Structure 1
Amino acid sequence: MRIEDVRAIPGVSGFFFDDQRAIKQGATQDGFDYEGDPVTPGFERVREAGECLIVELELTDGTVARGDCAAVQYSGAGGRDPLFRAAEYVPVVEGPVADALVGRDATAFGGNATVVESLDPAKTDGDRLHTAVRYGVSQALLNAAARASHRTPTDVLAEAYGTVPADEPVPVFGQSGDERYANAEKMILKGVPVLPHGLFNSVEKVGDDGETLVEYLDWLAERATERGEAYDPRFHVDVYGVLGEVFGPPYDREEVVSYFEELRAAASPYPLQVEGPMDAEGRAEQIHAMAELREGLASAGVDVDLVADEWCNTLDDVQAFVDTGAADVVQVKAPDLGGIQRSAEAVRYCEGTDTRAYLGGTCNETVTSARACAHVALATNAAQVLAKPGMGFDEGFMVVTNEMRRTIARREADAATEVTADD
């Protein structure tokens, strides 16, 4: 089965693009919008409607495989690729990308993905393809390989990377958006394994001394306990580097460690993960700051796990954070790694280390990209996977959970059929 045609269609994503630096520098919310001038190059306003680029691969038998090029909500921040304008990349996908893929064997996922990653920069108007383009095209290639070989995308990935897929759904991490109370209530009612994200992306939301975050975790622990003994979630809050603004370095000093002990006590008896405690000026600085804080917490016996996000974008970045022991968990932020195979490689790199892999992404993705990531999570048995797209919680939780359950059921049925055939 060959790839016969490649099409690209601009579409919409599940949320918005936000200028993170402008928000941190004081842009204020005006209803759902923000007041203020954009700071990050490429933005025309602080909040812009999200975009995606739909990629379709037509195969020899007329089957169409799809993937969606999508970029993170906070594009252009923390070392990430610039704001993604879908229409600008239609001629790239239908030009040099199509030239490289048309006529190739659709079942050869690994080889096809490598061809896209290694396209001649001179043909793509840049040093390399935008991460969003590589992300979407690789999803379509994975879909094509699965359809052409009559297997699940999970099985395609497992074969490519020599893994044994998970036989039950990977724990799903719900994200609340700014409705951090109402959506957390929903998560607790639905028994979400990891919650609530929280979107603590400003000093105002965290508190001048971090007190508002402590109060929130205390409330969250109380509500989770009220659900009953059968519910034993893990708490995960994302602070977008804001604690670095509240406290500043060095991060192993008593004031900072004591604050994390307050967070730990507020979250008790549930495990706590804090994502992106600070946002330094570059990867080396971020690794140093994260490692400093992690060592300080360990020395004081404060059991709070740190999650790397800022400056942890590429496969090389993930490897650097893991190798230096700078985090307990690394977010494998799928759109930022480019090809979806890179996400699988990043999760696998954490195997045998004391760093867990969280297969993440962004609210600003699509149903298509979220379903593809669910297969990566299953194939690599990641520690947790993000509920996406959107910020309403329910929809993303449904999309990712159902895709994993469908896949597991199909794999079990296929295995049973094979056993019957052998008998």
Structure 2
Amino acid sequence: MQIKDVLLAPGNGAFFYDDQEAIRSGAVQDGFIYVGAPTTPGFKSIRMPASSIGVGLVLTDDTVVWGDMMNVQYSGAGGRDPVFDMNQISSLTSRVVAPRLLDVDASRFRGSCTHVLESVGRQRLPLAVEYGVSQALLRAAAHLQRKTMAEVICTEFGLPLPTRRVPIYCQSGDAREINVDKMILKAVDVLPHGLINSRQKFGVEGQTFMEFVKWVAARTRQIGRPGYHPVLHFDVYGWIGQEIGLKPQRIADFICKVADTVPGFTLNIECPADFGSTQAQIENYAKIVSILDDRESKARIVVDERCNTLEDIRVFAEAKAAHLVQIKTPDVGSIADTARAVVICKENKVGAYVGGSCTETDLSAQASVHISVSTQADMMLAKPGMGVDEAFSIVGNEQNRLLAILSRRRAQDEKNSMKSTVSHAELS
């Protein structure tokens, strides 16, 4: 038995859990809080500090490897799991998951995930549990195999060792202008998110949003270094549909209008509308994608809401119901399923964006980097938190360290291969 004990440690997420329905319904901000009563079950207030639970696996050599369990910022919205309940998650992990962890071959990542994360009866484990436990199991396999987490994924999914860095996407939170400047000065690949999550931020007929898009493009040209040309990515939290209406043609017309204001830039629009169900989202997003493609627009649709689980991602990708799928890691559950999701997107020639949430932790962010790089996703989120500096540092530095290790590994393999070839020649 390679796991001899299981530890649980309470933790903090890097941001807050927010009641999206209450905010969409017009909850007023007072400083950093929202005034009023929550409307989504499980929320005690509209904005709550994010919590997490670390799960530590004590291996036979007394090394302890960790993964972190948490939910996303807008828990309970768009078909997602309810807001994180520390007592419930801790109890379930101790009673159900811990005994399973003591009975697996931890050197086999996918096999151990399959056993440990089995449903209880017909009920799937909370996705937060799947997410945190699978991170710990990936670190355990990497430790036992003396490899990086990325190499474990490459081996188990039959993928070549990666050579390309994955573009990093930063999110601004409400400190839009200051954080945009930070992103530009740090030459972030994809920016700025924008947090366009209210009527006030979107504006009548989207005018406030369009002005912000134009300002970001102008600011990039003004203070960016020569040759810097990021992708512009805005999350509008369904507000195009809410303000313009839910007809795909009108939504596509509006998106093209926005793209025309920033010629020369690729424009990503995340969650242009919420059509109320997964099936309706698929059908209508596919129509929007088709219209934009027919017009040869430089705008791309990114799906988030209603596309949560691995099966959701498969259906969206097969239906071409997005140009880019956000694989929202805590909503997908097992981090092995995040790797599968990237592979599925690539098989269907749909972009794969390994995202997640500002509520995550340094450990979950670092594990996500290994998944993103090993599967060669199209972009990955700088996380956790809503600041730029910390998240960009955590994700960017982990990627650079990983690529340095993999470069050395390839050089060693080539050297050993050459020695083997010489030895064969001498014997002949």
- Write the letter of the residue equivalent to 1:139: Q
TM-fit CA distance, 1:228: 4.0
For 2:257, the equivalent position in structure 1 comes to 262
Answer whether contact 2:307 2:316 (CA < 8 A) is retained. Answer: yes
CA contact (8 A) 1:171 1:194 kept: yes
Q: Of residues 239, 242, 253 in structure 1, which corresponds to 2:239? A: 242
1:342 aligns with 2:337: yes
Q: RMSD of the TM alignment (CA)?
A: 1.4
1:14-413, aligned counterparts within 5 Å? 14-121=14-121, 127-226=123-222, 227-253=224-250, 256-413=251-408
Q: Give the 4+ runs in structure 1 shifted more than 6 A.
A: none
AA aligned opposite 1:99: P
Which consecutive residues of structure 1, in runs of 5 or more, have no partner in the other structure?
none
CA distance in 1: counterparts of 2:59 and 2:239, whole angstroms: 48
Q: What CA distance in whole angstroms lies between the structure 2 residues aligned with 1:261 and 1:110? A: 43
Is the deviation greater in 259-268 or in 196-205?
Answer: 259-268
- SS, match of residue 351 in structure 1: helix
Deviations 1:58-94 (A, max 9, x none): 0000010100001100000000001111232212222
- Shift of residue 409, structure 1, vs aligned partner: 0.7
Shift of 1:279: 0.9
Would you say how many aligned residue pairs link Structure 1 and Structure 2?
417
What is the percent sequence identity of the aligned residues? 42
Deviation at 1:231, TM superposition (A): 0.7
Q: Deviations over 1:108-141 (max 9, x none)?
A: 111111112314337xxxx221100100000000
Q: What is the alpha-carbon distance in structure 2 between the residues aligned to residue 368 and residue 252 of structure 1?
A: 42
Give the C-alpha shift of residue 295 in structure 1. Answer: 2.4
Contact conserved, 2:303 with 2:326, CA < 8 A, in 1?
Answer: yes
Letter aligned with residue 367 of structure 2: A
Q: Output the CA distance in 2 between the equivalents of 1:301 and 1:139.
A: 40
With the length of structure 2 as denominator, give the TM-score of the two structures. Answer: 0.95
Name the SS of the counterpart of 1:113 in structure 2. Answer: helix
**Does the 8 Å CA contact 2:3/2:60 hold for their aligned counterparts?**
yes
Write out per-residue CA displacement over residues 133-184 of structure 1, whole angstroms, 9 at most, x where no aligned residue: 1000000000000011110000001111111243132000000001111101
Asked if the contact 2:203–2:209 (Cα under 8 Å) also holds between the matched residues in 1, the reply is yes
TM-score of the superposed pair, with normalisation by structure 1: 0.96
* Contact 1:67–1:368 under 8 Å retained in 2: yes
Query: 1: CA distance between counterparts of 2:408 and 2:55?
Result: 30
Structure 1 residue 391: deviation in Å? 0.5
- Does the residue aligned with 2:249 lie in a helix, a strand or coil? coil
Residues 253-287 of structure 1 show CA distances to partners (whole Å, capped at 9, x for unaligned) of 4xx44322221022221100100000121101111
- Amino acid corresponding to residue 228 of structure 2 in structure 1: Y
Where does the alignment leave 5 or more consecutive residues of structure 2 unmatched?
A: 420-428
Which secondary structure state, in structure 2, belongs to the residue aligned with residue 209 of structure 1? helix
Distance 2:161 2:18 in 1: 35
Q: Quick one: which amino acid aligns to residue 128 of structure 2?
A: A
381-390 vs 264-273, greater mean Cα deviation: 264-273
> Within the alignment, does 1:8 sit opposite 2:8 as a pair?
yes
User: Secondary structure at 2:386's aligned position in 1?
Assistant: coil
